[in-house]
Chain A
């Protein structure tokens, strides 16, 4: 079943008198429980696409529907979207438990459910014993793990992640990707993530969409690659190579399109 349907999505804005197109005529369908990775150079419209699906950006043309209903309407009807940002964005004056309670309250969960939900997700990301700690008392990696727990504790219909591991060292990022996948296995949430790391995208995604200049330029299907995946998986490695080739080809095209044509010079 398709959960997210996007047709003819475009977005542009004026910046200093110049019209800048961020997204142009994007078509995209995402199935329930699918993990989709958006990869591309900075400024290609990945984060904008994510914000539109989150319902944060309503100034666009084209149609974005979730389970057949326009995004704004669907979000009003108790449909839950969770977001993991590049930084943890935990409220520093709240303990981990209070941070999770914040989104549970926002999501309209009954107070009697809070403790159980918080315990389940903190357990899953190995932070149960830190539940009464303030964010500043935890390492960056632990804070980001708490942000992932926060996203899952509302049992979201869609989980969006915007370069969630890019600020972490590779070793920490690896354990966090495992935490993310473990929670995904349990909840089977539809996941859309943005990454600039081809290998990360190949490790996590069922499908990778390579973006460039506001459009989806290539789709790479990884549905056939079994889970749980290993970092040494050849299929993952091959897919990441394919992503990098796409990006290189695109960068070459962009360079040719923007640089002035060379004129022969006399010696």
Chain B
């Protein structure tokens, strides 16, 4: 057995132990509390089984995923533009710093409500609000990542007369790829929580709306079942998309 394989199987054991502990704690807590307040994992699992067979779960998931992707695309593009400007120009850095600090300190709910009031309680307002709340966090990440590009490798490329396109592809790209991946991961994680929030505040469909709906009915089993179903979808994206990208980007590090 190779050391790498042994390490991986040890990691897998810890992950399993960690998940089992979490489930055990949840079960214990559900014994102590009434089922209407905290249903047991088994009850939630049974509710999930029933939900999967309904059409509503799938349409809500599709609607929410669509909003997440739109908000993520808008937020990431804005943050890329802002972060790049701040990394490259000193005056842009000084100018936007105030905006970033405000963006980070203003509570998300204030941003969301303001956008809803200005744009209207519609699809556009929902997506824009969710996108806006993540921009400052992502812009800072991207600025720091761009600042850490190794100038010595750039000088090497210049002295050998590499074209701008070649420098971008072979020198700058691989250096910022890990930062972009981390930012995208972090951004998507933040955006989907925000989208659930805007749906809860002012939309008539989507996972966030449905969770709010069941909460109004005091049906905690379905609140948790809906949330967990959606968490599973996001986990598939995390492992299937980001996991694969990560392995590609870091292939050279494993050597």
On whether A83 and B156 interact (CB within 8 A), knowing A93-B174, A93-B252, the answer reads yes
Q: Quick check: is B24 within 8 A (CB to CB) of the other chain? A: no
Q: Tell me, in angstroms, the Cα distance from A66 to B166 when the chains sit together.
A: 26
Asked whether any CB of chain A lies closer than 8 Å to the CB of B90, the reply is no
Contacts of B157 in A (CB 8 A): 102, 106
Contact call A107/B152, Cβ cutoff below 8 A: no
**For residue B152, which residues in chain A have a CB less than 8 angstroms away from its CB?**
85, 87, 89
Q: How far is the CA of A103 from the CA of B166 in the complex (A)?
A: 10
Q: In the complex the two chains form, is A54's CB within 8 Å of B159's CB?
A: yes
Q: How far is the CB of B62 from chain A (nearest CB, A)?
A: 38
**Chain B residues within an 8 Å CB radius of A91:** 153, 170-171, 174
| Closest chain A CB from B245 CB (angstroms) | 15
CB of B145 to closest CB in A, whole Å: 16
In angstroms, Cα B160 to Cα A89, docked, is 12
B241 at the binding interface (Cβ < 8 Å): no
Write out, one digit per residue, whether chain B residues 135-157 have a CB within 8 A of any chain A CB (1) or not (0). Answer: 00000000000000000110111
Contact A106 B174 (CB under 8 A): no
A106 pairs with B162, CB closer than 8 A:
yes
Where chain B touches its partner, the secondary structure class is helix
Give B158's nearest chain A residue, CB to CB: A56
B255 touches A137 (CB 8 A): yes
Q: How far is the CB of B152 from chain A (nearest CB, A)?
A: 6
Given A93-B252, A134-B252, A154-B160, A56 and B155 contact (CB-CB distance below 8 Å): yes
Write the chain B residue with the least CB distance to A135.
Answer: B252
B161 at the interface (CB under 8 A from A): yes
Q: Which of B156, B158, B255 has the most CB of A within 10 A?
A: B156
Q: Are A136 and B255 in touch, CB under 8 angstroms? A: yes
A94 contacts which of B170, B253, B255 (Cβ < 8 Å)? B170
B7 at the interface (CB under 8 A from A): no
B171 touches A106 (CB 8 A): no
Shortest CB-to-CB span from A53 to chain B, Å, is 11
Cα(A80)–Cα(B161), bound, Å: 8
Interface residues of A in 89-121 (CB under 8 A from B): 89, 91-94, 102-103, 105-107
B160–A107 touching, CB < 8 Å: yes
For residue A23, CB closer than 8 A to chain B, the reply is no
Q: CA of A28 to CA of B202 in the docked complex: distance in angstroms?
A: 76
Q: State the interface size on chain A (CB cutoff 8 A).
A: 25
Interface residues of B in 226-255 (CB under 8 A from A): 252-253, 255
- The docked-state distance in angstroms from the alpha carbon of A134 to that of B174 is 14
Query: Contact flags (1/0) for B162-200 with A, using CB distance below 8 Å?
Result: 110010001100100000000000000000000000000
The smallest C-beta distance from B104 to any residue of chain A, in angstroms, reads 32
Is A149 part of the contact surface with B, judged by Cβ < 8 Å? no
Q: Taking the complex as formed, is A246 at the interface, i.e. its CB lies under 8 A from any CB of chain B?
A: no
| CB of A205 within 8 Å of the partner chain | no
Q: Which residues of B contact A85 (CB under 8 A)?
A: 152, 156
Contacts of A89 in B (CB 8 A): 152-153, 155-156
The residues of A that contact B252 with a CB separation of less than 8 Å are 92-94, 134, 136
- Complex-state Cα separation, A32 to B133, whole angstroms: 62
Residue of A whose beta carbon sits closest to that of B249:
A93
Bound state CA distance, A93 and B176, in angstroms? 12
Which residues of A lie under 8 Å from residue B161 when comparing CB positions? 75, 80-81, 106-107
Question: Could you tell me the distance in whole angstroms from the C-beta of B158 to the nearest C-beta in chain A?
Answer: 6
Nearest Cβ on chain B to A150's Cβ, whole angstroms: 8
Q: Which residues of B contact A36 (CB under 8 A)?
A: none
A71 at the interface (CB under 8 A from B): no
- Tell me if A82 is interfacial: C-beta within 8 Å of chain B: yes
A35: shortest Cβ distance to chain B, in Å? 19
B254 to chain A, nearest CB (A): 9
Name 17 A/B residue pairs within 8 A (Cβ), A-sorted: A80-B161, A81-B161, A82-B160, A83-B156, A83-B159, A83-B160, A89-B153, A89-B155, A89-B156, A91-B174, A92-B252, A94-B170, A102-B166, A103-B160, A106-B162, A107-B160, A107-B161
**Chain B residues within 8 Å of A, Cβ to Cβ:** 152-153, 155-163, 166, 170-171, 174, 252-253, 255
Q: Contact residues of A with B, CB < 8 Å? A: 54-56, 75, 80-83, 85, 87, 89, 91-94, 102-103, 105-107, 133-134, 136-137, 154
A136-B253, A154-B160 are known; give 11 further A-B pairs, CB within 8 A.
Answer: A56-B155, A83-B156, A89-B152, A89-B153, A91-B170, A102-B157, A102-B160, A103-B162, A105-B162, A106-B166, A107-B161
